[in-house]
Structure formats: structure tokens, C-alpha cells
Amino acid sequence: MSILRKLAFYLVALFAALTLNFAIPRMLPSNPVDVLLGKLQAQGPVTPETRQALMLLFGTDTSVPIWQQYLDYLQSLATGNLGVSVTYFPTPVTEVIASALPWTLVLVGLTTLITFVIGMVIGTIAGWKRGTWVDSLIPSTTILASVPYFWLAMVLVYLLSVTAGIFPLGGGYDVRRTSPELSFEFLSSALYYAALPALTIVISSIGGWILGMRNMMVSTLSEDYVITARAKGLSPKRVMITYAARNAALPSIAGFAISLGFVVGGSVVMEQVFSYPGIGNAFLLAVQNNDYALMQGLFLVITISVLGANLLVDLLYQFIDPRTRARGV
């Protein structure tokens, strides 16, 4: 029952996102069709069909009723047709997204997971040893958390790339030496170029995990079952990990799902600083070039991946925390 409810909720959320994507261009006072046609004309002759398709896409064709537009929109989404990108004319939007997605998924996804794990471990220890010197490190993490991400990235680029020359200035791989393929050379180059962006993500986002976990540990440690476990004479390590940390981690795991949304958002800024060839970079290029089809397609892909990740964690949560199952919420 509760799983069905969850699925229903995510369906509603997906539907809301699709509708927002449909409604925003129609509600706001601008005419993307003219902007786009101007761009397309610069690249070659435009057929009346293209104009018609664009007007359908952005809803400026008033001869078609709005509900019909909506149905057409849903139908073209269902067939995987997201239109043609202007920035990378005449590549379809789906292809642009497919080539950009792996970069972001691998770099940001892996880095977020690593940050989460390290943060949880430090948070557990800090909460366990509260009031000692370990705990006094906590306020410094809040300062890190309040530094704007892109500024931290800029400073690190300045220190480590411009001044010290350890890392490259930006990009996804060494374009002069290698090209995307499954070779050792390409992979090692990609890894080298990903190191600094990954480092900045870890530094800027680890504070929140440490703090959240530390506070939950402190709360959990005063629970009766933890005191009982201690009174039974269990080893401190066992009390810390199996009794306190296991329960204290629950809100952080729920928070992890929510943070995935911010991760994708954050990747837009990260990729701007490092000119990293991922989703965020494509998104910004689309915005700068008024490439509305690509922009909407990317928004959809980002939203769907965030919703999917949330659903996954939500379902997983039911297995991790039996209490949510018992209550049937």
C-alpha cells in the first residue's frame, strides 16, 4: 500500500514537472519562436513546417486550442522527440543530452556518494566524542558550508591551477592528446581533469553531512536503548556503530535523496567554473543561445533523474527503517 502511495506521489510530481515545462514558456511574455527562427535562418533556409513545429512547441500558434497543444506535447515526449538543438544544429536534443549526461553522472554522482560516506563517518565520530577536541572542529565545517561553492572553486583554481600548476584550468580531458574512447590514455586524462572539480565538491558539501550526522548522534546517544547497550558492557565500538550510528543515519539518508536535487543544480555552477562538458554546461549554453528546445529537454532529464533517485531512496528507506513500514505512511 505504502509503496503504491509513493509511486503515485512520484507520478504526480513527474506530471507536475511536465506541466511546468509546458506552462512556463506559455505564461511568460516572450516570443521564443522569433528568436529561434532568426537563429535558424542564419544557418540556412527555414521551411514553413519548421516554423509550425516551433510554434507548436512553444504554444504561440493560437489556432490550436491549448488542450490540444498539451496532448501533442505529451505525445511527442512519449515518443522521445525533444526537438532539434539550435546550439548544435542540426543535432537532435536527445543526442546532445546523451553525450553530456555521462560526464555529469560519473563525476558528480560518484563525488556526492564519496562525500556522503566520509561525512557520515566523521559525523559519527564527532557525535560519539562530543565535547572533546574532535567536536570542536565542527564549527569550522559551517564556515566551509557557507562559502559559495563557485568562489571556493575559483580560489582553488587560482591557487592550484594558475599559481601552482598542479591541475588543469578546466575541461573534461586533454583535447590535444586524446579523444573520448575506451582507452587507458583517455580514462587517465579524464580522471586527472576530474580531480579538482571533485575536490571542490567534496570540500564544499561535506560540512552539512558531518553536522547533520553529529547532531543526530548526540540525540541518539541519549536514548534509553543506547544507555542499556552501554550498561550491558558492550564494546564502545559496537555501541557506536550498531546501536547509535545505525539509527542516527536515517535522517541523513532521507536528506541524501533531497540533496540529489541540489547536486544537479550545483553541477550547473561547477561546470561553468571548470568548463566541464556535462549537463550543466549544456544547460547554460542553451540558456545563452536561447536554445529553448535543448533547455526544456535538459530540464526534463534533470527533473526525471532527480525524481528517479528520490524514488529509489524512498523505496530503499522502507527496508532500512522498519518503522516507516509499520506506520504505513
Segment 132 to 161, residues that bind another protein, using CB under 8 A: 135, 139, 142-143, 145-152, 154-155, 157-158
Angle CA(300)–CA(303)–CA(307) in degrees, nearest 5? Answer: 135
Task: Please name the residue that has the C-alpha cell 575541461.
Answer: 171
Q: How many residues bind another protein (CB under 8 A)?
A: 62
User: Nearest approach, Cβ of 73 to another protein (angstroms)?
Assistant: 15
Binds another protein by CB under 8 A, chosen from 60, 76, 81, 290: 290
Can you name the residues that pair with 92 across neighbouring β-strands?
A: 84
Cα–Cα distance measured from residue 90 to residue 311, given in angstroms and rounded to the nearest whole number: 35
Binds another protein by CB under 8 A, chosen from 198, 282, 283, 285: 283
Task: Please name the residue that has the C-alpha cell 571556493.
Answer: 152
Nearest CA to 210 among 317, 313, 127? 127
Candidates 10-18, 75-83, 183-191, 193-201; binding stretch for another protein (CB under 8 A)? 10-18
**78-102 burial: b if 16+ Cβ within 10 Å, else e:** eeeebbbbbbbeeebbbebbeebbe
- 8 A C-beta contact, residue 252 and residue 212: yes
Segment 31 to 70, residues that bind another protein, using CB under 8 A: 32
Per-position x/- string for 203-242, each x denoting binding to another protein as judged by CB under 8 A, each - no binding? ------------x--xx--x--------------------
- Looking at the Cβ atoms of 30 and 68, the one nearer to another protein is 30
User: Nearest approach, Cβ of 182 to another protein (angstroms)?
Assistant: 31
Q: Could you tell me which residues come within 8 angstroms of residue 46 by beta carbon, excluding any fewer than 6 positions away?
A: 37, 40
Candidates 48-56, 59-67, 246-254, 257-265; binding stretch for another protein (CB under 8 A)? 257-265
Candidates 60-68, 70-78, 293-301, 320-328; binding stretch for another protein (CB under 8 A)? 293-301
16 touches another protein (CB under 8 A): yes
- Looking at the Cβ atoms of 150 and 186, the one nearer to another protein is 150
Backbone angles phi, psi at 233, to 5 degrees: 85, 25
- Looking at the Cβ atoms of 158 and 185, the one nearer to another protein is 158
266 touches another protein (CB under 8 A): yes
**214-226 burial: b if 16+ Cβ within 10 Å, else e:** bbbbbebbeeeeb
Binds another protein by CB under 8 A, chosen from 3, 24, 64, 316: 24
Burial of 139 (0-12, 13-18, 19+ CB in 10 A): exposed
Can you name the residues that pair with 13 across neighbouring β-strands?
A: none
- Looking at the Cβ atoms of 190 and 298, the one nearer to another protein is 298
Residue ranges in 129-223 assigned as alpha helix (H): 138-146, 149-156, 184-221
Per-position x/- string for 80-119, each x denoting binding to another protein as judged by CB under 8 A, each - no binding? ----------------------------------------
Secondary structure (DSSP) of 49-117 = HHHHHHHHHHT--TTS-HHHHHHHHHHHHHTT---B-STTTTSBHHHHHHHHHHHHIIIIIHHHHHHHH
Residues that bind another protein (CB under 8 A): 9-10, 12-13, 16-17, 20-21, 24-25, 28-30, 32, 130-131, 135, 139, 142-143, 145-152, 154-155, 157-158, 162-163, 215, 218-219, 222, 258, 261-262, 264-266, 268-269, 272-273, 283-284, 287-288, 290, 295-296, 298-299, 302-303, 306-307, 310
